Structure 1
Amino acid sequence: MVEALEEAGHRCVVHLYDRHGSPVDFHAKVIREHWPTMKARIIDARGQFDPADAYVATSWQSAHVIGKQVSAPGRRLYFVQDYEPYFYPRGSEYALADDTYRFGFRTIALGGMVAEMLRSAHGIQVDRIPFGTDLSVYRLTNHGSRSGVVFYAKPRIARRGYSLAMAALGEFNQRHPDQEIHLFGDPHVRPPFPARVHGTVSSGALAELYNKCVAGIAISFTNISLVPYEMLACGAIPVVNEDAFARAELGNPAVRWAAATPSALAHELSAAVATSDVAAAAERAASAAESLDWGEAKKAFVRIVENEIFRDGDESTRSANRQEDRL
């Protein structure tokens, strides 16, 4: 989204807030490596905020930073990518995350689940942008045979359903011992069944893995993750936990929906690998995902930010000032 703003002519600064005090240079190196075309300055959010036309929070923590530390005039926006109170048990962090939706920032919601939660739980009118996939990386390259299943294993992130998925994969392994199970994410997981643990992988290597596999489990108990979109683009069939918001957002007919139980997830994985023509199923899944790049989301994001900045001005002011805007 920062790249999209820069492409539209805006000058951006990224303020990083690390509650644990890690050096900004460490994070900046990662950002420069993976988003090499982004030109924005990257500085510590605990320092001075220079005057800007808009300040955009991207998490509940950074919403508090903007609310507390920024006294300069400028529009306040909040890019809400998940309903973050659900990340925690009912306690202090839940309450602090929940409180940010009362700050009065103009809110941009990623997807329908977040938009509906903010409307129903907080009465907030939001601007919604759609999900996308980096189709330059995640695309169908394997037009032949496939084997095996894949899972994003993050045991420390409750919303990713690690224990549930591992139980399902154990049951799947009993039914299909010939199908290799691939785990990526946490390199320290020790599954109680035969599996290949890949640990942290690059996006390119992940796309290759998706292209090898027939299917995968893609669980999220909050906003739907990017994993099922990436799988689909590569022709792997995602098995996703049943959710009304997720169904509305992820309309690809290739998705297999399952109740959030080990047996139900294992059943859908089994059905996917037992498909008579796996290659044809992969082609159909990837074909339906071809329009899901980030283009529409980027256009919408820029349009919303510009509307907020220039809502009291006219088009001539907007055109004259665009190159000087700082976000």
Structure 2
Amino acid sequence: MRITFLCPHLRIAGGVRAILTYADRLAGRGHAVEVSVPARGRLAAWRRSLIRQRPDWIPGFRPRVSWVARWAADRLPDADALVATAWQSAPVVAAAPPRCGARFYFVQHYESLYHGEPAVVDATYRLPLAKIVISTWLRDVMRERFDSGAEVLVTPVDRSLFRRVPGDIDSPRPRVLMLHHDYEWKGVAGGLEAVARVKRRMPSLRLVGFGVKPPRVPVGYDEFHADPPQERLAAIYSSCDIYLCPSWDEGLGMPSMEAMACGAALVTYDNGGCRDYARDGETALVARRRDVGDLAAKLERLATDAALREKIAAAGQRLVTAAFDWDAAVQRMEALFASAR
């Protein structure tokens, strides 16, 4: 098949990593895959095409990358399947002529919450596109808010990258890892407050942070890893006993799943997307959304109970490494594209 993905950029990020992994693996299965990327101007598109800019963080990336000044429905290539991957590309795909193939919308978050004008973003979910979503929560959002069906394809963890890495860390325990991000909805302020409350009763707890950018002002991290390369992430995850996710809402939450694959026990808000892997008391401890007191209580419970922590970590690791598989996910996406031809 000929398959076109409209991808917003090629920088390493959770959503883009999933898009490009599907594209690369579909190309590896013999399909002619093209990834179309907007460069915000003709000159920028020409320059990036000239140097053949590609996602160098994916070795041997197989799809064709086409840089365009902007997406235009009448300039898209002929294909059997055309895939929007964010609210900005959905109207372009909806307007594409039949020669561009069956039209899909790969939904990785309910973007109306935090990205773009809510009414404009919501309108994209009403477009006549076949939806593929990455969590059962997103499927429910599409059905309940927009009376629209959707196929669920939970994004798997890359087990070649994210696995337990042995190491001897000379540090107080337990070590709690948290993603630092400037978006308010990532809940960093609440996470820091929850940790501070637990530290008052358990001073040995050590908070480890990581993120693309370090904090702008000093905050409560005891250790911070700024912009770590993806091959280093497994060691960071593995060095920590607990992964704390204070996000208010997540389409799925890949860092949580990656940490679980590396053997960390998860404490998380009920952020929607986590429901596919965070089973309270079994594979994670799940706090009420945006309830800092409950988040702190769940964190303290895991921090002070080593046996429970080990039980939760082992069950979580088994779930995320066995229930979701990249080969199966790619074959399912392939089948969805083929059935729409």
- Shorter-chain TM range is 0.7 to 0.9
Change (3 A) 1:271 1:30: farther
Residue of structure 2 in register with 1:315 after alignment? none
| RMSD over aligned Cα atoms | 2.8
CA contact under 8 A between 2:269 and 2:286: conserved in structure 1? yes
Q: How many Å separate the matches in 2 of 1:308 and 1:6?
A: 19
Shift in Å at residue 218 of structure 1?
Answer: 1.6
* Deviation of 1:141 (Å): 2.7
The alignment status of 1:201 with 2:231, answered yes or no, reads no
Work out whether residues 277 and 320 of structure 2, in 8 Å CA contact, stay in contact via their aligned partners in 1.
Answer: no
Number of residues of Structure 1 aligned to a counterpart in Structure 2:
303
8 Å Cα contact 1:216/1:239 also seen in 2: yes
CA displacement at 1:186 relative to structure 2: 4.2
How many Å apart are 1:108 and its aligned residue?
Answer: 1.0
What amino acid sits opposite 1:177 in the alignment? P
Question: Alpha-carbon deviations, 1:68-101, whole Å to 9, x = none?
Answer: 5x4462221111111111124xxx6212211111
Cα distance, 1:124–1:255 mapped onto 2, change above 3 Å: same
Q: Distance in 2 between matches of 1:203 and 1:249?
A: 22
Q: Decide which of 115, 125, 134 is 2:139's aligned counterpart.
A: 115
CA contact (8 A) 1:58 1:79 kept: yes
SS in 1 for 2:267: strand
Question: How far apart are residue 163 of structure 1 and its match?
Answer: 1.9
Q: Which runs of 5+ in 2 are unaligned?
A: 1-21
User: Residue 180 of structure 1 corresponds to which residue in structure 2?
Assistant: 206
Distance 2:340 2:205 in 1: 52
CA–CA distance in structure 2, aligned partners of residues 274 and 22 of structure 1: 57
Displacement of 1:154: 0.7
Q: Report the 3-state secondary structure (helix = DSSP H, G, I; strand = E; otherwise coil) of the residue aligned with 1:117.
A: helix
Give the 3-state SS of the residue equivalent to 2:321 in structure 1. Answer: coil
- Which of 110, 121, 131 pairs up with 2:155? 131
Q: What amino acid maps onto 1:198 in structure 2?
A: H
Match of 2:118 in 1: 94
Structure 1 residue 66, shift from structure 2 partner: 2.6
Cα distance, 1:58 vs. partner?
Answer: 0.6
Query: Matches of residues 19-58 of structure 1 in structure 2 within 5 Å?
Result: 23=44, 25=48, 31-45=54-68, 46=70, 48-58=75-85
Q: Contact 2:260 / 2:316 at 8 angstroms: preserved in 1?
A: yes
SS of the equivalent of 1:181 reads: strand
Matched, 1:274 2:300: no
- Give structure 1 stretches of 5+ with no counterpart: 310-327
Whole-angstrom CA distance in 2 between matches of 1:9 and 1:30:
22
Structure possessing the higher relative contact order (Cα contacts under 8 Å, 6 or more residues apart): 1
- The equivalent position to 2:287 in structure 1, one of 233, 244, 258, is 258
Amino acid at match of 1:274: T
Q: Which moved more, 1:279-288 or 1:36-45?
A: 279-288
Separation in structure 2 between the aligned mates of residue 173 and residue 143 of structure 1, nearest angstrom? 25
Q: Does 1:4 align with 2:25?
A: yes
Amino acid at match of 1:288: L
SS in 1 for 2:88: helix
> Deviations for 1:208-258, whole angstroms, at most 9, x for unmatched residues?
111111102123314231122111111111111025663355348231111
Normalised by the size of structure 1, how large is the TM-score? 0.82
Aligned to 1:298: 330
User: Residues 18, 267 of structure 1: CA spacing in aligned structure 2 closer, same or farther, 3 A cutoff?
Assistant: farther
Alignment equivalent of 1:59, drawn from 86, 105, 116: 86
Contact kept in structure 1, 2:135 and 2:154, CA below 8 Å:
yes
* Aligned-residue identity in percent: 22
Aligned to 2:194: 168
Residue 289 in structure 1 maps to residue 310 in structure 2: no
Amino acid at match of 1:272: L
